[in-house]
């Protein structure tokens, strides 16, 4: 299972980097989203996969620490999801303003003030 998740993470990173190297602003935004999903899955996989037990231990101590899931990667992923959503929304706002100003989503057609003069 870990090998499959490693291949999925590699595929998400590869697709995200490929999309970010395109000239369209929308493709750059989609690439950023794929990279963030790949990072979240990488953190989740590195934390270890435990399917049957929750990250909390009962008060009686019926489970050992080896049988329970590690709560730290799950907390990191929740934080990363919120941060990546905020970054995506901010990038979307920047791309919208860039499109309104330049009237194009092609990165090569966007000119700076230095190039215009």
Using the predicted structure, report yes or no on whether residue 66 has a pLDDT greater than 90.
no
CB atoms within 10 A of CB 60: 6
Long-range pairs for 69-73: beta carbons < 8 A, 24 or more residues apart: 72/47, 73/43, 73/44, 73/46, 73/47, 73/48
Question: Tens digit of pLDDT for each residue in 28-41?
Answer: 899 999 999 999 99
pLDDT of residue 116: 57
Q: Does residue 87 form part of some domain?
A: yes
Domain holding 82, by residue range, is 2-49+69-107
Q: Where are the beta strands (DSSP E) in 33-82?
A: none
The whole-angstrom separation of Cα 18 and Cα 13 is 8
d(CA 72, CA 26): 33
Interval 88-116: pLDDT, tens: 999 999 888 888 888 877 777 776 655 65
Q: Is 36 part of a structural domain of the chain?
A: yes
Please state the pTM of the whole predicted model: 0.75
CATH of the domain at 43: 1.10.287.3510
């Amino acid at each position: 299972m870990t090998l499959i998740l490693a291949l999925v993470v590699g595929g998400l990173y590869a697709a995200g980097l490929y999309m970010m190297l395109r000239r369209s602003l929308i493709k750059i935004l989609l690439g950023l989203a794929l990279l963030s999903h790949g990072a979240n899955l990488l953190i989740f996989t590195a934390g270890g996969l435990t399917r049957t037990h929750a990250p909390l231990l009962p008060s009686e101590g019926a489970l050992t620490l080896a049988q329970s899931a590690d709560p730290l990667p799950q907390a990191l992923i929740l934080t990363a999801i919120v941060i990546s959503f905020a970054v995506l929304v901010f990038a979307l706002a920047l791309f919208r303003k860039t499109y309104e100003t330049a009237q194009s989503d092609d990165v090569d057609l966007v000119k700076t003030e230095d190039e215009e003069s």
